Amino acid sequence: MADIKDPENTILMELKDGTVVIELLTEVAPQHAARMKDLARAGAYDNVCFHRVIEGFMAQTGDVAHGNMEKDFNLRRAGTGGSDLPNVPAEFSKLPHDRGTLGAARSQAPNSANSQFFINFKDNHFLNGQYTVYGRVLSGMEHVDKIARGEPPTAPDRMISVKVAADVAQ
């Protein structure tokens, strides 16, 4: 596992194949980073499926309203919801959408991000300046690469648990 320098701004995402360590980029997108920490601390991301996974592009998850595979799960609606919290305004930066970066998923409206996000499988620079980058995978990208593909996948994978590293006993 990666050497964690800032546990308060590091996410530990447990997938079926292992732990993904994510550095939140608080200096670039403080509101998006704060939202991810709030939802992780509330347990809202636990058991949420990857509902849109496109080979050579990205894996999208985070629909806490319809994507929880243990509670009111609806695969048809997964990807259409968010949290009960207000949307987060865009925090566009010069950071590129490189392999392993987290981007805020949203509708066509730039200020509509809420709980959903995606992890880039490869450099997707055509997204630069259009979607907020607010995190990057430090280790465990090989586990992300194994997520079941599909829109939606026939048998979707899930985030088993998502925690802020500072809250986990080391």
Please report the pLDDT score of residue 75 as a whole number: 87
Residue 10, pLDDT score: 98
Average pLDDT over residues 65-87: 93
- 2-52 pLDDT, tens digit per residue, is 689 999 999 999 999 999 999 999 999 999 999 999 999 999 999 999 999
Going from the C-alpha of 115 to that of each of 55, 107, 142, 146, the distances in angstroms are 22, 12, 24, 22
What's the pLDDT score for residue 88? 97
Q: How confident is the model at residue 170 (pLDDT cuts 50, 70, 90)?
A: low
pLDDT tens digit sequence for 138-167: 999 999 999 999 999 999 999 999 999 999
Residue with tokens 């648990």: 161
Of 83, 92, 146, 93, which is closest to residue 119 (Cα–Cα)?
146
> Closest Cα partner for 136 from 100, 89, 82?
100
DSSP assignment of 77-133 equals TTTS---SSPPBPP---S----TTEEEE---SSTT-B-S-EEEESS--GGGTTTS-E
Q: pLDDT band at residue 1, thresholds of 50, 70 and 90?
A: low
The domains found in the chain, sorted by start residue, are 24-167 (2.40.100.10)
Question: For the range 164-170, what are the long-range contacts, defined as Cβ-Cβ under 8 Å and sequence gap of 24 or more?
Answer: 164/7, 164/8, 164/10, 164/11, 164/12, 164/37, 164/40, 164/41, 165/4, 165/7, 165/8, 165/10, 165/11, 165/12, 165/21, 166/7, 166/8, 166/10, 167/41, 168/12
Mapped onto helix, strand or coil, the DSSP state of residue 68 is: strand
Query: What percentage of the chain exceeds 70 in pLDDT?
Result: 98
Strands 48-54 and 58-61: antiparallel
pTM exceeds cut of 0.85? yes
Average pLDDT in the chain: 96
pLDDT at 90: 97
